[in-house]
Each structure stands twice: as structure tokens, then as C-alpha cells.
Structure 1
């Protein structure tokens, strides 16, 4: 398993037995139990959900801390580094398919479902239905039977465009930080990492303000027909991914300040950077397909 000369990196590191996986599973159990019961009207489900969330996050903290200590102790060889790279690649691929499903739902609703409901065969069922996507024709809420309250659609100006500039800028600052780390300029790397984290926080703040404005001034809600549901599902899940990516970069920055990583060995940094650039690319597609079209 780790038969090697003293002081050399093992060919393949096998960690000791750990309780982290089963303890994390317990936290997930209480989260799912709480969410299912709370949404069905049982008050105690809220406490189960919060308990499971706190438990799960605590376990992840200690789990990741142990992995970081093992890495800094020189226990991870090229084989481990390669396995981490493949794992992160497949994880990002699963996220691509995740967003692909929602983009497909948006396309299907806009190009097939809404036109079909406006066809001659549905005229008797929905005589006043406007078979047009709300962002194309002002005031067209596509609401059969008036079951959806009137709402306004949102365009690219100005908050979405500001957020696009913020995310693209954060990609640049992250790339500068990466090159600084490769050049063994830790101070410059840390400065630009903090800039990236701050830009991510500002993005989330702007999106939160946008949501408040849309909800109060535009009456655009999650139940505002298929337009509202696809809008909030896409932008909301992307916002959650920005939060996760920002937390990744935050903890990577803390580790950099502690002296972790070198100019040659820093996949923890690279993995977080891969994820952040993926989030940037998804937003570009979202910005065009949701706000412009």
C-alpha cells in the first residue's frame, strides 16, 4: 500500500479507516427527512433539516481538513493527484448535464409546449391563450384560464449585465492569481484571490437585490407560469453554484495564507479554479438565453 523508502512519497496512499462517510450520510438522512416532512406541513421537519445541515457541514469540514493535512504531509503521489483530477472532471461534467437539463426545459417550453397550447386543437380548451413567450411580446403571460397573475419580464439591463461583468472579471483575477502561484509569488496570488472572492460576494448581493426587485416591482415569482419557474430555477441554481464556488475559493485563499500549496503541487487550487470557470461559462449561456432571448 505504501511500501516505499523512508521519506519518499508512497506509490499509492490508502488512508486509515474513517467514520467520516457514515457520519456524513447520517447528516444527509436527517436533512432529507426534515425537508420531506417540513414540506408536508410537519413543523418538526424544520428542526430536523437544520440539524442535519449543521451536522453534515461539520463533518465535511473535518473531512476536508484531514485530506488537506494528508496532502501537505506529502502522502499524495502522482496517482492520487491524477485520481483527484479525474474526480473533479467527472463532477464538473455532471454539473454540465445538470444545467443542460434545465436549459433543455427552457427550450422545450418555449419552442414546443407554448406553441402547441396555442394550436387549433387547443383553441376550445384555452380560447384566450396567447401562444407567445412572455419576453417576446410585452404583457403576454401565457396564462391559460388566467391562473397566473400578470407579471413583467426582465431584460439584460442593467443588473444582469453588471453581474456578467463581475463574473468575467473574477475569471480574470483568478487566472492572474493562478499564474502568480505558478511563479511562486504567493503575496500576489493571495491579493488576486481575495479580489475574486469579493467579486463573487458582490455578484450574489446584486442577484439578491435583483430577486427582491423582480418580486416586488415586476410580480415575477416562481409560480409565474413556466417563464417564472424556468427563470428562477436557472438563475437560482446558478447563484447557489456561485456561492459554493466562492466558498471553495475562500478556503483555498485561507490555505494559501497558511502556507499550503507550492508552485508545482496545488491541485486544490486548480480544482476550485476549474469549478469557478465552469460557473462563469454557464452564466454566459444563461445571460444570453434567459435575459436576451
Structure 2
């Protein structure tokens, strides 16, 4: 006979958290606008916005975790979560597709067009090479970032992290808690290592290679793609850490662990984006 939980789709009580999130976004938007216009109150508004946002994240996700561990979610809810995470990752794919599209357009259309005979009267000294570089008089030219060095090491780190999170998943499916926790600890450590090396790479690029966000279309696309990817690695590492601490507390079962799967999906997505980024931004 079907249980009560299997017969009824769980509908939570009216929640305050969307309203709290709206206040967080209001203060963040207001603070950002005031800060870029050098208004002293801007940083204070940003701090308030981030504080409210953190309060909302801890409170809202805490409620979801308690509901899940309390057995309130049946297979229908699980399916809803899977569709939601799938569409979220699809939106992230489109987000990066826009930036890769900008890089493709610049390299395949804009730069060759500026170097064509039709443009020689306007830009007589321009050479249609990539990375495009025309340094004004008195300004030191930048050096492009090579692929074989820190970027290659970071590629190996992310590929390894994809293997460790999969190993952790195998441990969860076999109910081997020590393998689950160890795999997650290794994955979090690799994520932190990736971010640390990226910070070092940025410092090296800016101070020793004169490569900044304003270094033409190359600098813009380089920092936009690698920077947003780094932000996603940061978010993924935080989510993995949360899942790791939950695993230490005994959460997740071999047949009920979508929160783990959602984070693993996201981490594999981050890995794939980096591989494409490594080839088209660093290598080619």
C-alpha cells in the first residue's frame, strides 16, 4: 500500500525567504550604484546586502535540508529538483556561450575586418593577428598568456577533481561513508588549489605581463571568461564543502541524495567549460 508521503506532493508553508532575498538584492543593487558613483554610503549598502543575502542562504537552504532529512520529499519532488537543476545548468551553458560567442566573433570577423584593405585608411598600422595588440605611444605592450604552465596545471587539477567527486559518488552508492567523505575532501582541496593558482596567475599577468582587463579585446575576453569561470569554481567549491560537512553528519543515503548529485552535475559542468576555455583562450 502506498504511504502518505508517496500519495501527496509536498507543498511547503508560505515562506519569508523570497521577501528577504528581495531586500538583499535591493541593497546590493543600491550599494553597487552608489559605489560606482563614489557615494560614501555605497559600501555600507553593499555590506548590508551581503549580510542579508547570507542570512537568506543559510536560512532557506537550512529549511530545505531539514525537510529533506525529515522525509517530506517523495519521488515527485526529487524529479522537480532534477528538472530545476537541469534548467539552471542549461542557463549557465547559455551564459558562457555568449562570452565564447563574443570571442569567436572578435577573432573570426572583427579582427580580420580591421586588417582588411577596406580599413587600411583608418587603421594603417593594424595587423590582423591574434591576440590583437595596438599599444598607444608610451604604453608598454602586453604579453599574451601561454597555455603551458599554470593553465595546464589547473587543467590537470580540475580533471582530477572530476575523478575524485565521481569516486566519492561511488562510495555513497555503496554506502561507504569514509570513501564519500575522503573523496569530497580531496575535491574541495583541489578546488581551492585551482583558485589559489588562478589568483597567482592574475597577479603575474597584471604586474609582470601588463595584461589587464583594458588590454584590448584580448584582455577583455581573457578576464571575462576566466574570471566568470573562477566565480563558478568558487561557488562549486562552497557547495562541495557544504555537501562534505553534511556527509560528515550522516546525511544522504544510497537511494536518496540528489543534493550530492546536483553539486556533482555542476562541478562536471565547470570542468567541461574549463576544457573549452583552455583550448580557445589559452591554447589556440
* 1:61 aligned partner: 58
* 1:118 aligned partner: 115
How far apart are 1:125 and its partner, in Å?
Answer: 1.4
* 1:209 aligned partner: 200
> Any residues of structure 2 matched to 1:196-275 within 5 Å, and which?
196-275=187-266
The runs of 5 or more residues in structure 2 that have no matched partner are: none
> Any residues of structure 2 matched to 1:147-226 within 5 Å, and which?
149-226=140-217
Rounded to whole Å, the distance in 1 between the matches of 2:34 and 2:188 is 36
TM-score with structure 2 length normalisation?
A: 0.96
How many correspondences in the alignment? 284
TM-score with structure 1 length normalisation?
A: 0.93
How far apart are 1:40 and its partner, in Å?
Answer: 2.0
Asked if 1:98 is matched to 2:95, the reply is yes
* 2:280 aligned partner: 289
Rounded to whole Å, the distance in 2 between the matches of 1:22 and 1:13 is 21
Rounded to whole Å, the distance in 1 between the matches of 2:25 and 2:104 is 33
Rounded to whole Å, the distance in 1 between the matches of 2:3 and 2:279 is 56
How far apart are 1:148 and its partner, in Å?
Answer: 6.8
Asked if 1:76 is matched to 2:81, the reply is no
How far apart are 1:11 and its partner, in Å?
Answer: 2.1
Rounded to whole Å, the distance in 1 between the matches of 2:47 and 2:221 is 27
Give CA-to-partner distance per residue, 1:79-131, whole Å, 9 cap, x none: 10000000000000000000001001001001111111112222121221122
On the 8 A contact 1:13/1:75 being kept in 2, the answer is yes
Alignment RMSD, CA only? 1.7
- CA spacing shift, 1:116–1:132, aligned 2, 3 Å: same
Rounded to whole Å, the distance in 1 between the matches of 2:139 and 2:258 is 49
Match for 1:280 among 265, 271, 276? 271
Rounded to whole Å, the distance in 1 between the matches of 2:253 and 2:183 is 17
